[in-house]
Chain A
Amino acid sequence: MSETTHDGTVATTTPVSPDEGLTPARLAAKYGLSVSGARPSLVEYVRQLWGRRHFILAFSQAKLTAQYSQAKLGQLWQVATPLLNALVYFTIFGLILNAGRGMPKDVYIPFLVTGVFVFTFTQSSAMAGVRAISGNLGLVRALHFPRASLPISFALQQLQQLLASMIVLFAVAVGFGSYPTLSWLLIVPALALQFLFNMGLALIVARMGAKTPDLAQLMPFIMRTWMYASGVMFSIPIMLEDKPAWIADVLQWNPAAVYMDLMRFALIDGYGSENLPPHVWAAALGWAVLVAVGGFVYFWKAEERYGRG
């Protein structure tokens, strides 16, 4: 319809050139112009993303600093928030509901704190991821950069947040009699794998959240269900003793439970390998690679569509 209306009204005074009569597509091809905003190939996309690594890091650090800059205690909240969380769970689950059944107190408290910290890492990555595009539309519409920078940056922000609160975790472990041993070194690969998983998760929910912003409202409920199903504050095999075995198996193999168990195993003396499902490192690696690669490709597939109102 607009074809006919504007042909009559446009007054073109451009001089006739030899290119006159070429269709726009042919003219573009002749001078080597490319389609603006087209999705790059996957390899090219990875290359562009690597080129923006400084921006990704700087953005995550900036978000981290900005988060508590208005608070009086400032960056102290990075550590205080998860600690307060653990305290609340300890009061309710440890003291009132006695969810620590089958574990002595000096194992249960570090067990609970580790669980809360590790799960919070995944949870906040997903919560930040779901708003990574939809909450930053201004940025997406104003500047050019591979959009995956945003969810990755948010996952990175959560990693830095966790690293800061690790000090508290170490203090709690030592306070309840688990002293640093060589097994503490396992924290590094466990965290690396969990970070990969979180990044993939953030990429997946970022694309879904960009299409359906309602997901941000739904996310707290999904995450809470996941938290209760992953044994953050209780031991899955002990709690589900009298239920069919497959339920405990499924729950134990879910990525959140796997990463929590690995961290507990690494950190807590009284939490031995008998508490872990078999092939737990393979599961941790499998989840990380599957979700990171799958999430990245899934996110890239919609690259040119982010930012539509």
Chain B
Amino acid sequence: MAEQQQGGRVPTVIADDLHIVYRVNGARTGKGSATAALSRILKRGEDRGVRKVHAVRGVSFVAYRGEAIGLIGSNGSGKSTLLRAIAGLLPAERGKVYTDGQPSLLGVNAALMNDLTGERNVILGGLAMGMTREQIKARYQDIVDFSGINEKGDFITLPMRTYSSGMAARLRFSIAAAKDHDVLMIDEALATGDRKFQTRSEERIRELRKEAGTVFLVSHNNKSIRDTCNRVLWLERGELRMDGPTDEVLKEYEKFTGK
């Protein structure tokens, strides 16, 4: 059985009946007063003060090398949660995700600090993604040039809190996109920056796709899904509603959303 692989369809990500549950502290009732909190503690039991949010409910699929998979669904349907679970960043409540190597999420925002200069953030973000100092040094100029931060003066040596929101978003994307990945996951990154930067980042994503084994893309922009993906997973209320070629799924999805 192992000899006859059809055209090398090698699985890179396997999700097996995956369930993700968030536990939210102190969101049980509308009342946030101290006495309400105390009575919740005294009540004991399973649900004292903790509310469970079942974000992904039993999702199973197999992703193969060379595929670009779009994730669609309305807000809060569990797309971003699913990506994080595939990356191994959110522990699964039940079920398992098997991956080939270490999938990485294209997102570096959380490692950056607003009080530091852009320059130091490039280094910090690179290190946080697991690049070595030499790799960062080699790519530093590319990252800065790509972000276009220095087009309007020497902004890279200023703290990031002085940047406009667009500038900061551009720098974040540039840092995140500087690394090559095996399994790459992109969470609505295409929407950052002005028109010129968007074109540039779409181009970079196509490049990354060529280098990566499998790409996942979360987006609400059906056009960018159609442009980049050959397969689409449609999530609704944490359940996999449809899984198939981009055109088929998008047609159903557009019917569903009433376009």
Chain B residues, Cβ within 8 Å of A19:
1, 9, 11
Chain B residues, Cβ within 8 Å of A62:
113, 116, 120, 124
Q: Is the CB of A70 within 8 A of B115?
A: yes
> Contacting chain A: which of B55-63, B146-154, B194-202, B218-226?
B55-63
Chain B residues, Cβ within 8 Å of A308:
22-23, 90-91
Q: What total of chain B residues lie within 8 Å of the partner, measured CB to CB?
A: 69
Q: Is the CB of B116 within 8 A of A54?
A: no
A297 to B15, CA, bound (A): 30
Report A70 CB to chain B, min CB distance, Å: 7
A3 to B95, CA, bound (A): 12
A5 to B236, CA, bound (A): 12
Q: Does A282 contact B (CB under 8 A)?
A: no
Q: Quick one: which of A9, A30, A33, A144 contacts B130, CB cutoff 8 A?
A: A144
Q: Quick one: which of A38, A143, A307 contacts B111, CB cutoff 8 A?
A: A143
Q: Does A69 contact B (CB under 8 A)?
A: yes
Q: Does A185 contact B (CB under 8 A)?
A: no
> Contacting chain A: which of B28-36, B203-211, B238-246?
B238-246
Q: Quick one: which of A27, A32, A37, A51 contacts B97, CB cutoff 8 A?
A: A37
Q: Is the CB of B128 within 8 A of A143?
A: yes
Chain B residue, CB-CB nearest to A212: B25
Q: Output the residue of A12, A17, A145, A309 with the most chain B CB within 10 A.
A: A309
Q: Is the CB of B128 within 8 A of A145?
A: yes
Q: Is the CB of B123 within 8 A of A11?
A: no
Chain B residues, Cβ within 8 Å of A136:
110
Q: Does B132 contact A (CB under 8 A)?
A: yes
Q: Does A244 contact B (CB under 8 A)?
A: no
Chain B residues, Cβ within 8 Å of A145:
128, 130
Q: Is the CB of B244 within 8 A of A143?
A: no
- Convert B18-51 into 0s and 1s, putting 1 for each residue whose CB lies closer than 8 angstroms to a CB of A: 0100111100000000000000000000000000
Q: Is the CB of A141 within 8 A of B98?
A: no
A215 to B123, CA, bound (A): 33
A54 to B134, CA, bound (A): 11
Q: Quick one: which of B23, B60, B91 contacts A24, CB cutoff 8 A?
A: B60
Q: Output the residue of A13, A37, A62 with the most chain B CB within 10 A.
A: A37
- Convert A30-65 into 0s and 1s, putting 1 for each residue whose CB lies closer than 8 angstroms to a CB of B: 111111111000000000000110110011001101
Q: Output the residue of B24, B108, B113 with the most chain A CB within 10 A.
A: B113
Residues facing B in A4-35 (CB within 8 A) are 5-6, 9-15, 17-19, 23-25, 27-28, 30-35
- Convert B101-143 into 0s and 1s, putting 1 for each residue whose CB lies closer than 8 angstroms to a CB of A: 0111101111101111000100110011110110000000000
A264 to B149, CA, bound (A): 51
- Convert A212-225 into 0s and 1s, putting 1 for each residue whose CB lies closer than 8 angstroms to a CB of B: 01000000000000
Q: Is the CB of A35 within 8 A of B96?
A: yes
Chain A residues, Cβ within 8 Å of B110:
136, 138-139, 141-143
A59 to B125, CA, bound (A): 9
Chain A residues, Cβ within 8 Å of B85:
36-37
Chain B residue, CB-CB nearest to A16: B6
Chain B residues, Cβ within 8 Å of A10:
240-243
Q: Is the CB of A142 within 8 A of B88?
A: no
Chain B residue, CB-CB nearest to A4: B58
Chain A residues, Cβ within 8 Å of B98:
24-25, 27-28, 33-36
Q: Does B248 contact A (CB under 8 A)?
A: yes
Chain B residue, CB-CB nearest to A23: B16
A173 to B207, CA, bound (A): 61
Report B181 CB to chain A, min CB distance, Å: 11
A143 to B159, CA, bound (A): 23
Q: Is the CB of B87 within 8 A of A59?
A: no
Chain B residues, Cβ within 8 Å of A63:
113
Q: Does B164 contact A (CB under 8 A)?
A: no
Report A303 CB to chain B, min CB distance, Å: 10
Can you list 11 contacts pairing A with B, beta carbon distance less than 8 Å? A12-B243, A19-B9, A25-B96, A27-B98, A54-B132, A59-B124, A65-B115, A143-B89, A143-B108, A309-B22, A309-B24
Beyond A5-B239, A37-B87, A307-B90: 5 further Cβ-contacts under 8 Å? A11-B244, A36-B88, A65-B120, A141-B84, A307-B91
Question: Which 3 residue pairs are nearest across A and B when measured between Cβ atoms?
Answer: A37-B88, A2-B58, A28-B98
